[in-house]
Every structure is written in C-alpha cells, then in structure tokens.
Amino acid sequence: MPEIECRSGMQMAGNKKAAWKLLDLEKLNQDELYAILDEIPSGSESEGSDVESEVGEGYLEANNLPETDLLDIQNMDIILEEENDVAVELVADMGWESEDDVPLARLATNQSSIWTNNENYVTTTNPFIEVTGPNLIADVETPTDVFLSLFPGDLIQHIVFQTNLYYLQKHGGGANFTPTSEEEIKNFLGVNLLMGIKQMPSYRHYWSSNDELRDNFISAAISRDRFSWLLSHIHLNDNSVQPGRNDPNYDKLYKVRPILSKLRETFLSAMNPHEFQSIDESMIRFKGRSSIRQYMPNKPIKRGYKVWVRCDSTGFMCDFQIYTGKIGQTTEKKLGLRVVKDLSRALVGKHHKVFFDNYFNSVELQRSLLSNGIYACGTIRKGRKDFPELKLDKDMKRGDKD
C-alpha cells in the first residue's frame, strides 16, 4: 500500500498553524483517514496563517497556504510514492493526464474498505452505482394511485373473474345472481382497509341503526348485504384444478397464490433498491386454525404467519416469501441460506450490501453471495459449519480480537 502525502492546513489549538502531514495508509483504517481529512480547514480559515511543513527527510518552510479550498477533498491533489493499480485504472477510465491528477476521495472510494494484508479477507470492493428510488410507472398523485401501483388493475380483474366463477360453480347462477365488478371490488378493498383502522366488534356494526356505532362513510360506499355476499364469495384461484395433497405440485398457499405472486412482482418493480438491504423474518398476527401458522414463544408476536422479507434502507419491503413450514414430514435443510439467496436474487452483480442476523448467516452463504457480486454482513453462531473456534471472553483482554 503506498503512502499518500496530503497537502493540508491542519488547524492547531490556540492558533492557526498548519503542517504537512505524511499519511501511512497501512497504519490507518478508513475511519481514521477520513477523520483526518475532516479536520482540514477550508481556504478561508487558513488565509494569513503560518505554515510549517515536513516532507520526506527535510523541512520546508512556507509563508502562505495555496489559494485552493483545502477542504475540497474531491479535488485534493495526491502524490503516490509508487505505482498504484487503482490510480492507473482511474487515469485510463476518466481521462486524467497522470496519477497525480486523481482526487484523493476517488482513490479511497475505489480502494479496499477493509484495510488489511490478511489474504483471507476481501481486499477490493466495487462501488455501488445503481439508480435508486421509486420506480412507479403510472403518474402517482394520491394515496389511491400508490395503492393501485402495487395492487394493479389486472389483479383486480382476476379477482372479479374468480369470484364470479366461484359463485357459478357453487350455485349455478340464477335470476338473483348479480356478478361483481371492478368498481365494487375496489370499494370492497377500500372498506376493508378502513375497517382495519376503525375497528368494531362485528363488521355489521358499521351499518348499525345506532348512531354511535354506524359509520356513514362505509355504509354509503356499499350495502351491508352486498359486503356480506362478497365476504363469503370472494375468490382468488379456481378450486376445480387445485392439486391434491399427494400431488408434487401441491401448494399450501394455492388459494391465495395469485395475489402473492402479483404483489411480489409489483413490490420488486416499484422500487429501485438502495445500496443497503436487510433480510429478516416478520410475523403477521393470526390466532385461528391454519396448517402454516407458526408459534414462536420468544417473539413479540407469538402466533401467526411467518414471512421472510427483504427491506430497503428506506423501510420499503422489496421482496417477501411466506413460510409454509415442513414439506410433508421433511424438514428443509439450510433454510436460512436458501431464503437469503432467493430474496437477494434481484441484487446479483449490483454490489449491494445485505445485512441479516445469525439465523441466516454462514460461511457458505457469505461465499455464495460474494461470488454473485453481493456484499454481506451479519452476526454469527460460532457453532456453524466451517467457522473457526473462537477464544472465550474470559481469555481475552481489552483490545484483543479474534
């Protein structure tokens, strides 16, 4: 690793003396380097100050600082004592005349984020350069527009078709049959969302003749009997072609699979993910009867549906999978590894940084992610396969590392 001679006015306590600093990068970690660079005063702070400089073996005296803004790290001059592969590459790519023209910050960004000579560590990380942020195709002006971007019209049309189909399969039509429509399904969805905010002991109370219970907004949007009809007939998948339990294609989530698949698709497309991603489990509270309900006594939500999720640093859920438990009597091996690889499939080759806890983390997973251009960080369980034996806390002193 070369030494970098950084020409900087270092403000001293009590007066504004400045000095030339010779930085040996092998003795500094990245945080220490940037801490030093942050202490460099701007040009306006350094005007008129005396400068003492030490370069190499001799001492040079300077009466005035350069007129350039010394806090402009992006354009700071650097001097490399030996040829640097990163600098050579940047000169070729950016069109600078020589290595001396490479800004210090650009060099530091393209060099290792792990400043070590240990050959077992990653010594080079590629910069994250992807476009990030919302990627909603339609013009979004209202909360309804946002909802319909994630819950699109073709999904609503699918619900309309399957709901009408289910009624015809069950009752065979009839003169009293009134098929549902897209507008009615939208009203039904909106009313259900509102009921989640304004909760009543029974959904019938929203249409109560008692003014203290009745909700005029909901009762005006849809009648009680029609809401009840939709509640008992709304459907997402055709029961007549559902695979049996002994079928290889059997799916515990068959009845809701279309909506899960579509939402996963829209969630993935609605956001260009930021650099930092997190993968963890989430619980949807549910106390009813279900073969996929999980019980986790040490969690805040102890009973419910477990969902594996990948979230953006903004809090947006980019991807998810619902955990359905064992397949027959078979317990899935390497579940954590499989979940992380599945949820990070859209990040391959883009140099994202993914974080997860010790349930998922393993040496095998880290190697797999790195080979796919994904950087990862997570806590560990020291008993995992391929992990070295660590010292006990009582055998370590302050400052020791393992």
Of 22-26, 217-221, 252-256, 314-318, least confident by mean pLDDT is 22-26
**Residues constituting the chain:** 402
Does the pLDDT at position 10 exceed 90? no
* 123 pLDDT tier (thresholds 50, 70, 90): low
| CATH classification of the domain holding 290 | 3.30.420
The SS3 call for residue 40 is coil
* 157 pLDDT tier (thresholds 50, 70, 90): very high
Judge if 165 and 207 occupy the same domain.
Answer: yes
Number of domains in the chain: 3
Between the alpha carbon of residue 15 and those of residues 9, 49, 87, 361, the distances in Å are: 12, 9, 36, 51
- Digit-coded pLDDT (tens) for 311-335: 999 999 999 999 998 876 778 889 9
- Digit-coded pLDDT (tens) for 200-211: 999 999 999 999
In the predicted model, what is the mean pLDDT of residues 178-199? 95
The SS3 call for residue 377 is strand
What is the model's pLDDT at position 124? 67
Judge if 103 and 171 occupy the same domain.
Answer: no
Residue 101 lies in a domain: yes
Q: How far apart are CA 282 and CA 304, in angstroms?
A: 10
- Digit-coded pLDDT (tens) for 210-222: 998 999 999 999 9
pTM above 0.75, yes or no: no
Domain end, chosen from 55, 88, 110, is at 110
**Which structure tokens are listed for 399?**
């400052």
Residue 248 lies in a domain: no
Q: How far apart are CA 350 and CA 328, in angstroms?
A: 37
What is the model's pLDDT at position 98? 67
Judge if 37 and 88 occupy the same domain.
Answer: yes
Q: What is the DSSP letter of 399?
A: T
Residue 218 lies in a domain: yes
Domain of 48 in residue numbering reads as 4-110
Residue 36 lies in a domain: yes
* 87 pLDDT tier (thresholds 50, 70, 90): low
Judge if 390 and 324 occupy the same domain.
Answer: yes
Torsion sign over Cα 66, 71, 77, 83: positive
Residue 115 lies in a domain: no
Helices (H), 103-152: 104-110, 143-150
In our burial notation (b when 16+ CB lie closer than 10 A, e otherwise), range 103-133 reads bbbbbbebbbeebeeeeeeeeebeeeeeeee
Chain centroid to Cα 398, Å, comes to 34
Judge if 386 and 287 occupy the same domain.
Answer: yes
Judge if 84 and 176 occupy the same domain.
Answer: no
Q: How far apart are CA 172 and CA 360, in angstroms?
A: 50
Chain centroid to Cα 118, Å, comes to 30
Residue 183 lies in a domain: yes
Identify the CA nearest to 309 among candidates 323, 327, 293, 291. Answer: 323
What is the model's pLDDT at position 193? 95
Q: What is the DSSP letter of 308?
A: E
Judge if 278 and 379 occupy the same domain.
Answer: yes
Judge if 383 and 291 occupy the same domain.
Answer: yes
Residue 170 neighbours by CB distance under 10 Å: 10
Q: How far apart are CA 226 and CA 164, in angstroms?
A: 14
Judge if 190 and 104 occupy the same domain.
Answer: no
Does the pLDDT at position 61 exceed 90? no
Judge if 371 and 328 occupy the same domain.
Answer: yes
Chain centroid to Cα 134, Å, comes to 13
Judge if 154 and 213 occupy the same domain.
Answer: yes
Q: For tokens 């005296």, what's the residue?
A: 61
Residue 281 lies in a domain: yes
Identify the CA nearest to 195 among candidates 179, 213, 183. Answer: 213
Residue 125 lies in a domain: no
- Digit-coded pLDDT (tens) for 99-109: 666 555 455 54
Q: Where are the beta strands (DSSP E) in 113-189?
A: 133-134
Judge if 102 and 214 occupy the same domain.
Answer: no
